[in-house]
Structures are given as structure tokens and as C-alpha cells.
Amino acid sequence: MQYSKDEIQSVLVSNATIQARLDELCAQINRDYKGRELLLVCILKGAVTVFADVLRRIEIPCSIDFMALSSYGSSSKSSGVVRILKDLDHGIEGKDVLVIEDIVDSGMSMKYLFENLETRSPASVKLLALLDKPSRRRVDLKADYVGFTIPDEFVVGYGLDFAEKYRNLPDVCILSPKVYE
């Protein structure tokens, strides 16, 4: 895809690279959960793309559910306030849950979510994050499955947005600072 230089500074992770990495990660997940059943939880909206790509690679019995948390609004900096906008449709008691998130930045959203999910007595809860920005971490949080560790750049595409735009781009791209400055 041809991107406008005014909006997109560069491609950080191409779609082909993402697909190859998901092959590896999902092979690992299929091994780790062999003989069990998985509940895959998609964190709306940013994770929809990676969620659909992961789902198609899961070879063990699974079901899906969706959750939405408050995040950035239209700025590129985290407010630190986390709220559940849409909860799961079903209980998770006794279930093996794999949460699928687009990116872990400060870690506050996932820290809050995991503390909340633990109170519902699941058999296990793990986190798959397509992207990880460890240099921005403000709380102690580690994803169990990480696609790519990236530098402190604001990225869009492959589900990730800036002010609800750019989710449709096939690649993970660095947003031109001109867009938000």
C-alpha cells in the first residue's frame, strides 16, 4: 500500500512480518494449551485485526468474547484513567482465558484489566500483545506472548488508530508527528 508522507512517516512492521510472527506465536499457543479449551478475549477496538488473524490459527477448541476499555480519546498520551466500556458477555469461572491486545504502552490498562479478571476465578489468564513498548511502562506488567517489541513511537495501522483513523492500514506504521503536533 502507498502511504501519504504527510501522514505516515514509515512502515515499522509490515503485514508480511506480522503474519510470519503470528505463525510462530500461535504454534506456541497451540502447544501450550494442548488438551485444553481456550476463551479468546478481544480488546476492542484496536485488537480486532490481530484477534482475527490469531483466531484463524488456533487449532484447539475455543470460544470468543469481547471487551472494551477506555483509552486515549484523540490525543497520543495516556490519561491513566481506565474504565470498562463493554464487559464480557459471559462469566469466565474455571476457564483458560487468553486476552488479545494491540499494544502495551504504560501497562495501566492491562494491569487494571488483569486485576479485574482475576476476581472472577478463571483457571488462568494470559496476555498476547501484538506490540510492546517497554520503555513507556509505568506499572509492572509483562505480556505472556509478544509479537514485537518496538521503540517509543506512536504507531497506527493493523487495527491501531489515532483519533479513530488509520485502523485499516495493513501494516504497523509510524505516524508522522505533523498529524498530532
Q: Which residues are catalytic?
A: 105
Binding ligand IMP (rule: CB under 6 A), the pick from 104, 127, 128, 130 is 104
Q: Of 33 and 47, which CB lies nearer to ligand IMP in the complex structure?
A: 47
CB contact at 8 A, 159 and 45? yes
Given Mg ion, ligand IMP, none, residue 107, with its beta carbon under 5 to 8 Å by kind, binds ligand IMP
Binding region for Mg ion (CB under 5 A) out of 13-21, 34-42, 98-106, 135-143: 98-106
The single residue among 40, 155, 169, 173 that binds ligand IMP, judged by CB under 6 A, is 155
Helix (H, G, I), strand (E, B) or coil at 108: helix
- How far is Cα 47 from Cα 151, in angstroms, rounded to an integer? 19
Question: Residue 78: which of Mg ion, ligand IMP, none does it interact with, CB under 5 to 8 A by kind?
Answer: ligand IMP
Cβ–Cβ < 8 Å for 164, 29? no
Number of Cβ within a 10 Å radius of residue 90: 10
Of the residues 78, 144, 148, 179, which one makes contact with ligand IMP according to CB under 6 A = 78
**108: contact with ligand IMP by CB under 6 A:** yes
What is the Rg, in whole angstroms, of the alpha carbon atoms belonging to the chain? Answer: 16
Q: What's the CA dihedral at 162, 165, 171, 175 to 10 degrees?
A: -40
Smallest distance from Mg ion to CB 89, Å: 19
Q: Select the residue interacting with Mg ion from 46, 107, 147, 157 (CB under 5 A).
A: 46
| DSSP label of 171 | S
Distance in angstroms (rounded) separating the CA atoms of residues 100 and 39: 10
Q: Which residues bind Mg ion (CB under 5 A)?
A: 46, 102
Q: Which residues bind ligand IMP (CB under 6 A)?
A: 46, 71-72, 78, 101-109, 154-156, 160
